[in-house]
Amino acid sequence: MILGMQMLYRFLIGGLVITLFATAGDLLRPKSFAGIFGAAPALALATLGLAVLERGSIYAATEARSMLVGAAAFVLYAGVSSRLLRGGTRAASSVTIANLGLWLLFAFFGWLLILRVPM
């Protein structure tokens, strides 16, 4: 029963926050910002809020730092992929798939760094 209520809370909070972010993205110019304000930030906020309620602020802080490392790894991945695709001579699928290893490697070592740093 408790698991069902947690899922309901996640659904309601996530849906509400996603709706707010999607509205903000729709109102901003250029429309490319709509993707930035899509589901990911909203789900992160909902997840962190529930983590604080369920497991406390120390656990949520670790989750938040992990999310920051994942976001930094994604920025590196997107930047390298974009740079490699600028010439137009490489296939997008091969560049993005090849760079997934870079994203994974950077995220893994960032995660290891988080484990070593005291809170």
Q: What is the mean pLDDT of residues 16-20?
A: 72
Tokens of 94: 């091969």
Q: Give me the number of domains the chain comprises.
A: 2
- Taking residue 85's Cβ as centre, other Cβ atoms within 10 Å add up to 14
Of 58, 57, 48, give the one whose Cα is nearest residue 119: 58
Q: Domain check: are 36 and 75 in the same one? A: no
pTM over 0.85: no
Q: Is the pLDDT of residue 115 over 70?
A: yes
Residue 80, domain extent: 57-119
Q: Domain check: are 119 and 61 in the same one? A: yes
Helix, strand, coil share (%) of the chain residues, nearest 5: 85, 0, 15
Q: Domain check: are 75 and 101 in the same one? A: yes
Q: Domain check: are 70 and 30 in the same one? A: no
pLDDT at residue 110 in the model: 87
Residue type at 80 in one-letter notation: V
Q: What gap in Å lies between CA 40 and CA 68, rounded to an integer? A: 12
pLDDT at residue 27 in the model: 73
